[in-house]
Amino acid sequence: MSTSDTTADTAALEVRGLFAGYGRIEALHGIDLRLDPGQLVALVGANGAGKTTLLRAISGLIASRAGSVSLFGRDISRDSPDKRVRAGLSQVLEGRQVFGPLSVQDNLLLGGYTRPDHREERLAQMYALFPVLEEKRHLAAGTLSGGQQQMLAIARALMSEPKVLLLDEPSMGLAPLLVREIFAVIVRLKAQGVPILLVEQNAHAALSVADTGYVLETGSIALWGPAGELLRDERVAGAYLGV
Ligand SMILES: Nc1ncnc2c1ncn2[C@@H]1O[C@H](COP(=O)(O)OP(=O)(O)OP(=O)(O)O)[C@@H](O)[C@H]1O
Ligand SMILES: [Mg+2]
């Protein structure tokens, strides 16, 4: 099969045999993961399991030592992070890193740098999805609440019209009401057809909205399967659901 083939079984994102780490530390020991078009995959695991490292390796922020990453059948493993963004991969980093001194609108426009011709149209779509961002579009992003900054970080990532969205702990540090709001946004994005790889420590919430779940333990996939089955799995319940 040629790399440009997009047949019915082409994954939106496919990770095969991925090894990555920092200096002499190997943090990921051969990860296989698949995200199908229109699907939401939850990646859960304890602190330090390697969730962020996996997202960094997928988006090219750290080099992988072995293995491959493909986006709709195209191998992007050797591409720069910028090229991966242009190929359709967009990541919301851990800790909602918005540009605090810049206005909400300028943060969004920066997110759309790869698609300058679509920016106005895309801005309007983001304001429809997140009305609070339109109200506050002229304010410095740093003045927004934590939940609003997380929405801004997600909207900024969506400005590039991603084919696959990577979210790193979007609910981290938010009050329960805001966590529900963020999950409602994630469900809406999935309904719009954006394939999402969602990293969460909030395993119950993530598996409840996901199609498929993966459990990462010290750099390896310990369990994976339909999200509903993982929710009922006693190994998952004992370790991650606080049951
Ligand atoms: N910049 C770094 N330099 C060296 N080691 C790192 C670095 N970042 C992470 N690590 C190590 O890599 C391993 C995986 O960390 P990672 O941040 O990917 O975990 P995580 O699952 O995202 O954890 P958390 O839930 O706390 O965000 C850990 O052992 C961590 O100490
Ligand atoms: Mg992390």
Question: Given this model, what pLDDT does residue 242 score?
Answer: 62
Q: Is residue 108 part of a domain?
A: yes
Pocket lining: 25 vs ligand 1, CB cutoff 6 Å: yes
Number of separate domains in the chain: 1
Ligand 2 centre to CA of 47 (Å) is 7
Q: Is residue 5 part of a domain?
A: no
Domain span at 94? 37-61+81-240
Q: Is residue 15 part of a domain?
A: no
Q: Is residue 20 part of a domain?
A: no
Q: Is residue 149 part of a domain?
A: yes
Q: Are 76 and 84 in contact (CB under 8 A)?
A: yes
Ligand 1 centre to CA of 2 (Å) is 35
Q: Is residue 57 part of a domain?
A: yes
Q: Of the bound ligands, which one is closest to the alpha carbon of residue 168?
A: 2
Question: Given this model, what pLDDT does residue 238 score?
Answer: 75
Question: Given this model, what pLDDT does residue 114 score?
Answer: 83
For the chain, the first-to-last Cα distance in angstroms comes to: 46
Nearest CA to ligand 1 atom 4: 22
Per-residue pLDDT of the chain (243 residues; tens, 9 = 90+): 444 555 668 999 999 999 999 999 999 999 999 999 999 999 999 999 999 999 999 999 999 999 999 999 999 999 999 999 999 999 998 887 899 999 999 999 999 888 888 888 999 999 999 999 999 999 999 999 999 999 999 999 999 999 999 999 999 988 888 899 899 999 999 999 999 999 998 899 999 999 999 999 999 999 999 999 999 988 887 777 765
Q: Is residue 189 part of a domain?
A: yes
Q: Is residue 208 part of a domain?
A: yes
CATH of the domain at 229: 3.40.50.300
Buried b / exposed e over 87-100, threshold 16 CB at 10 Å, is bbbbbbbbebebee
